Amino acid sequence: MKNFQQQSLTRMAISYGDTLPYAAFTLTLPEILQQAAGKTTGIVYHRQNNTAEGQSYAQLLAEAAKILTGLRQQSLQSQSSI
């Protein structure tokens, strides 16, 4: 476990982009994702084997919606502990 924690600390995420406007801090995560889905940009995942895979924000939104549907089918609601 200790080795995993040390490894995690040395491989922190990097984010490049504009500074977020103050208004972004008043939105919920679903609202931010909904806005981002309308843009042509997305996320690039860099893997340990030096490959990269892209995902558009629209794809991320669709995947999040599927997960939400599954959680609701299990009778989970907002603020439920999982």
pLDDT tens-digit map of 11-30 = 556 667 777 677 767 888 88
The DSSP bridge pattern shows strands 42-46 and 52-56 to be: antiparallel
- Whether the CB-CB separation of 23 and 5 falls below 8 Å is answered with no
User: Helix, strand, coil proportions of the chain in percent (round to 5)?
Assistant: 50, 10, 40
The sign of the torsion formed by the CA atoms of 11, 68, 80, 27 equals positive
Model pLDDT for residues 26-64, shown as the tens digit of each residue: 888 888 888 888 888 888 888 888 888 999 999 999 999
Q: The tokens of 78 are what?
A: 């907002």
pTM: 0.61
Task: Name residue 68's amino acid.
Answer: L
